[in-house]
Amino acid sequence: MRATVIAAFRDRLSWRAYGAGEEYEGDDTRVSELASAGCVIVGPVADGEDLSAFTVAELKALCDERGVDYPKKATKAQLVSMLGE
């Protein structure tokens, strides 16, 4: 299963360090563990997807991934607005 890293972590299985915006690929169980820990989000965000369901960290990772500049202290509403444009 493929996921997008939203918070830096070192994989306990491979010991590889991952940074925000990188792709992570692993088995379903490991990706689910990382998603629960807030380290990755699963799958790409499709156009029209409800961005309000994402956390601020996930939204910032999407902004980084898409090259959208945002203020360091941007609110969730601001991030959703910037990604929706």
pLDDT in tens, 3-22: 888 788 999 889 999 987 78
Q: The domain containing residue 7 runs over which residues?
A: 1-43
pLDDT band at 48 (very low <50, low <70, confident <90, very high): low
1: nearest Cα among 20, 33, 28: 28
Same domain as 67, residue 39: no
Same domain as 65, residue 32: no
As a whole number, the mean pLDDT across the chain is 82
Spell out the alpha helix ranges (H) of 1-85: 28-36, 56-66, 76-84
pLDDT recorded at residue 58: 83
Pairing mode of beta strands 17-18, 9-10: antiparallel
34: nearest Cα among 53, 50, 14, 48: 14
pLDDT recorded at residue 62: 83
Segment (H or E) for 40: strand 40-42
Same domain as 50, residue 84: yes
Same domain as 21, residue 57: no
Same domain as 78, residue 50: yes
Same domain as 37, residue 14: yes
This prediction's pTM = 0.55
